[in-house]
Structure 1
């Protein structure tokens, strides 16, 4: 791949990116010292990307990014990208090694040469992910400060349809983009992604996406943005996903009350999840790893929606354990026994001919007498 470095003229790029927002008033927050949700621009790169054409991708670093801030503020605000659905990268192992994540970290925290190379690699990856059903695009990568967090950065990936409105001319040491009027009338932000974090091991594991084509009848052509290009999946929020997983496990356990073997699978799954060093979970991952037979069938039937089943999330241990920390036994005598899962091996359940019997022994640490209402 050979990428020709271009000194993109800010006036021309500004006209490209404002597109359908040109009638909206430009926000003054940046001029007054405020910032858009993604923050003040530190670095920006732009490329002309054609489907499957990777031999020569024209583009490079954009200079004088400050004059683009207002336009990007408006685009970001109108897109509501920061409120979009979450995604999580598809990691092949617990090492959190992922090509797109490495590119983003280089753009955010690398040297100028490393950041430029990473932006070029993202443009190359985008072109390789597109097929003939995809339209040529202006692809931009911007790195932003995060207000009040000096060690964090936000990266925004933007795509605008090209619609055959560019004419490129390049000299020996510079290049010019000639912009046709059609772009200003027809352009719109079609796809975008937002990632925010520091340079640590648990940062940049996922982000937010905008894909206006992903909900149309042209969905197969649009799926490349999240699936192929970003190599990610839709992701539940940390707390939401953790509570859903806990509820699914709890409901599965309750529905398997007549099957001790299936319940044992649920216990093993809970303990395995609590002790795992996985970075991301999904209901489908848990099913594949911990369940078989009837337990797998019951667990699967608790949540049938495929997007929810495959959506990945980071585990919120407190939210998870608050829903599922104890195993509760109610005896026919009215006695209620609450057993922490980590102490489950101190309780024995004996299957008799007509009923199951609980056997429990252990030294008493504390004894209280209280009314029925506590």
Structure 2
């Protein structure tokens, strides 16, 4: 779903550490790029990204980035432009030589469900080989948007939504396609240095992420029964535990080892995501990973609730796994494949 009708947009050419080289300004022909931006927003799945919260130093909730966002969303035109320029300077200062030059865009959108609210989206796109800039003129805008049209793959983004109030714009959602452990020093600048924030996974989001990581680990270890047994024990341990707060790193350290831990670790490599704690939502977790499913050579599919999976016997004989199950039939149904 698109972010909403664009009210304001700004675009800048940003090079690492080169604050004197930043060029760009307000985009005046926003209607012509609404559709392109909508597509980029939908493809990014930004609304499903990890949550972040700003690092406030006092109860007054003063925060430079938050102040910039509020000015961009609700300030007078001159205030909004100045805030967008300040954000581009902040981004350049946060980047280092391991970061690539980028097209940095800032857009403000109407929120259809609440006329008093606005959404602000921060985007970075790969830099083009050639740019023709004339900062503050219409030609700058046209050249920037030509480049935008040619290369619209989002690399990093952040979404903030709210009203112009004391309890709004305290955090948002982020996208970081470079946020892996191998590129962590270069990627940290987006959330930590640039936004001055920390990752905060919500209960549903974190529970769903954990369940998906465990399920994928189980599937990737199909040739290793011992590894699958570790995953199975981890799932049962989580379900039966009284522990309320989890992180992916906690689960890995507590329940997994060896190659199983390595496979699980590779499901989510971004360290802020891995170490971010969340409240376990049991209903969401179990809805994602409630059954262990076996498909037999005959085409029969056996679906076993995890809490009784111990009643199923799986043996390995000459590179073949055999399932044995017995029990009293309590109900029998006849269904077509369409259910």
TM-score range, shorter chain: 0.5 to 0.7
What's 1:232 paired with?
A: 197
Distance in 2, Cα, partners of 1:168 & 1:212:
27
Residue 89 of structure 1 pairs with residue 54 of structure 2: yes
Residue 67 of structure 1 pairs with residue 32 of structure 2: yes
**TM-score, scaled to structure 1:** 0.54
Deviations 1:259-295 (A, max 9, x none): xxxxxxxxxxxxxxxxxxxxxxx999xxxxxxxxxxx
**Contact 1:162 1:183 (C-alpha < 8 Å) held by counterparts:** no
**Contact 2:36 2:149 (C-alpha < 8 Å) held by counterparts:** no
Counterparts of residues 49-64 of structure 1 (less than 5 Å): 49-64=14-29
Q: Which has the higher helix share?
A: 2
What's 2:42 paired with?
A: 77
Match of 2:119 among 131, 144, 154: 154
Q: Secondary structure at the match of 1:55?
A: helix
Deviation, 1:182, is: 9.0
Residue 142 of structure 1 pairs with residue 92 of structure 2: no
Distance in 1, Cα, partners of 2:194 & 2:111:
25
Go from structure 1 to structure 2 and tell me whether the alpha carbon gap of 1:232 and 1:170 turns closer, same or farther (over 3 Å shift): closer
Go from structure 1 to structure 2 and tell me whether the alpha carbon gap of 1:94 and 1:224 turns closer, same or farther (over 3 Å shift): same
Deviation, 1:219, is: 2.5
Go from structure 1 to structure 2 and tell me whether the alpha carbon gap of 1:150 and 1:219 turns closer, same or farther (over 3 Å shift): same
Distance in 2, Cα, partners of 1:215 & 1:189:
16
Higher gyration radius (CA): 1
**Contact 1:283 1:309 (C-alpha < 8 Å) held by counterparts:** no
Deviation, 1:125, is: 0.4
What's 1:99 paired with?
A: 64
Q: Secondary structure at the match of 2:100?
A: coil
Distance in 2, Cα, partners of 1:182 & 1:122:
21
Gaps of 5+ in 2: 208-237, 248-252, 256-264, 266-270, 282-339
Distance in 2, Cα, partners of 1:71 & 1:165:
21
Q: Secondary structure at the match of 2:190?
A: helix
Residue 191 of structure 1 pairs with residue 156 of structure 2: yes
Residue 203 of structure 1 pairs with residue 168 of structure 2: yes
**Contact 2:160 2:169 (C-alpha < 8 Å) held by counterparts:** yes
Go from structure 1 to structure 2 and tell me whether the alpha carbon gap of 1:121 and 1:90 turns closer, same or farther (over 3 Å shift): same
Distance in 2, Cα, partners of 1:309 & 1:55:
36
**TM-score, scaled to structure 2:** 0.59
Match of 2:77 among 112, 118, 123: 112
Deviation, 1:308, is: 6.7
Go from structure 1 to structure 2 and tell me whether the alpha carbon gap of 1:133 and 1:200 turns closer, same or farther (over 3 Å shift): same
Q: Secondary structure at the match of 1:127?
A: helix
Deviation, 1:37, is: 3.3
Aligned residues: 234
